[in-house]
Amino acid sequence: MIFGLQGHITNVQHNLAYVWPPSQVPDFMLGMIAAMLARHEAPSWQVNQGLVLSDWERGFLADVALIGVFAAVLLIPSSGYHEGWEPLFNHALAPLLGIYFYGSAAAKGAGLSACLLTLPPLAQLGKYSFEVFLFQQPLFSAFEVLWIGGLNEILPKWVLAVAFMVTLYLLSGLYAELIEAPFVRWLRERTSTWSQ
């Protein structure tokens, strides 16, 4: 609404929309609704209204939503750091992502995007998604310091972007397998008798 009235979003408005905790509530609620719909594939209200989608239709819906996300990210021109159109990506794509989650989960993997994303190498990368979430911002800040510190004069941006992604997933995988998993096993062994 603010974007529609002003034609842009300021940096201060971006920070309120992105960092302020209550601004995350609509995305959370949307995710919960998508999860509920995916879990209950044909709730009674859907049957009564005749809105039940086939697995193929759900998969197609997921594919279209994901294409919409990619199109927005690739085709909308950059207006500058946290200015213009860019802040819309904070929450504006949440409905499309919710539709994708519903369509791909409820269809039990129907649709081209779900089939591609369940390939073993990609599924293995998805196994570390929580660790990627934890490490992305600190690692990005470190790469940003390197970039400002002079790497921008030596390397093209795409090389640094690839190095960032490789480092992020390598660090996440090493942490998950060598630190987190052994710690979880140790903690389960130590606390297994507590519930008895």
What pLDDT does residue 139 have? 94
DSSP state of 1: -
Confidence of residue 72 (pLDDT cuts 50, 70, 90): confident
pTM above 0.85, yes or no: no
The average pLDDT across 65-90 equals: 78
Of 75, 103, 118, the residue that ends a domain is 118
Same domain, 15 and 25: yes
Do 93 and 144 lie in one domain? The reply is no
Number of domains observed in the structure of the chain: 2
d(CA 121, CA 141): 27
75 and 153 housed in the same domain: no
Are 163 and 103 part of one and the same domain?
no
pLDDT digits (tens, 9 = 90+) for 154-166: 888 888 889 999 9
φ, ψ (nearest 5 deg) of residue 84: 60, -120
- Of 118, 146, 175, the one marking the end of a domain is 118
Residue 45, pLDDT above cutoff 50: no
* pLDDT score, position 16: 77
Residues 173 and 195 occupy one common structural domain: yes
112 in the same domain as 123: no
CA dist 154 and 59 (Å) reads 44
What pLDDT does 55 receive?
Answer: 81
Q: Considering 118, 138, 171, which residue would you say is the last residue of a domain?
A: 118
108 and 164 part of one domain? no
Neighbours of 61 (CB within 10 A): 20
Give the model's confidence band at 43: pLDDT under 50 very low, under 70 low, under 90 confident, else very high.
very low
Task: Residue 140: give the domain boundaries.
Answer: 119-196
**194 vs 196: CA distance, rounded Å:** 6
Q: Who has greater pLDDT, 121 or 47? A: 121
17 and 81 housed in the same domain: yes
What is the pLDDT at residue 48? 45
**How does residue 26 score in pLDDT terms, banded at 50, 70 and 90?**
confident
Based on the fold, state whether residues 80 and 22 are members of the same structural domain: yes
Alpha helices (H) along the chain: 2-6, 11-19, 25-39, 44-49, 55-75, 94-106, 112-117, 120-126, 129-146, 152-154, 157-174, 181-191
